[in-house]
Structure 1
Amino acid sequence: MMDAVIHYQAELIAALDSQDADAILSASGSLSSALEQLRQQRHVPAQSELSHGLKQAEAARIRVKYLTAWNRQKIDRLAECRGLASSAVYVMPQKHT
């Protein structure tokens, strides 16, 4: 079953790299199902498989973080073009006396 998890992780990484929303959703769902089946097996995979799976999970996490930042920048730029303040700017709250 760990083979299936690793396979769906690779699909998710490829979908993230291609920025294909439908493929990301599909791969995420498949990965979720495979992880649930792995949990139900109550079998501990080999250390090498676990290590590989963790490395792929980290690779996917980095891609998600990158895409999140990229999208945030796009949203901020669009807001600036419309004359709105960027939501990423910290403003100290005013104290009312």
Structure 2
Amino acid sequence: MIPAALERFERAERDLIAALDSRDVEALEVSVVMFGKAVEEVRALGGWRDHPQIVDQARRCQTLADAAGIRVNFLTDANRQRIEALATARGNVAGGAYRRDGSQSF
């Protein structure tokens, strides 16, 4: 039961990464929903961390989570740059809509 849930979680992470890489909004929306379901399934299992044979699988999942996070940060930065370029084109050279820390600037 636990390995199967982690396999589904790992597959959901891989699908999420593929959707992020493709920049396909529809694929991204579907993968985010599937990822959320996989997260809830793993959370509901409880003491899976107590099984040493699952540690390697959990480490792979962590590596994939890091990879997804890097992609999200990259795409966030690319969007910020586009927003700033649009603001500059409008004559608003003061900057973009968001600060680097993610807070909104006005």
TM-score (norm 1): 0.85
User: The residue matched to 1:55 in structure 2 has which SS?
Assistant: helix
Residue from 40, 49, 74 that aligns with 2:82: 74
Q: Which has the higher contact order (CA 8 A, sep 6+)?
A: 1
Tell me, yes or no, if structure 1 residue 33 matches structure 2 residue 37. yes
User: The residue matched to 1:83 in structure 2 has which SS?
Assistant: coil
Partner of residue 59, structure 1: 67
**What is the root-mean-square deviation of aligned Cα atoms in Å?**
1.5
Amino acid at match of 1:49: Q
Partner of residue 23, structure 2: 19
Deviation at 1:43, TM superposition (A): 4.3
User: The residue matched to 2:48 in structure 1 has which SS?
Assistant: coil
Larger radius of gyration between Structure 1 and Structure 2: 1
Q: Residue deviations 1:53-81, cap 9 Å, x none?
A: 00000000000000000000011001101
Identity between Structure 1 and Structure 2 (%):
31
Mapped partners of 1:22, 1:71: distance in 2 = 18
Structure 2: gaps (5+ residues): 100-106
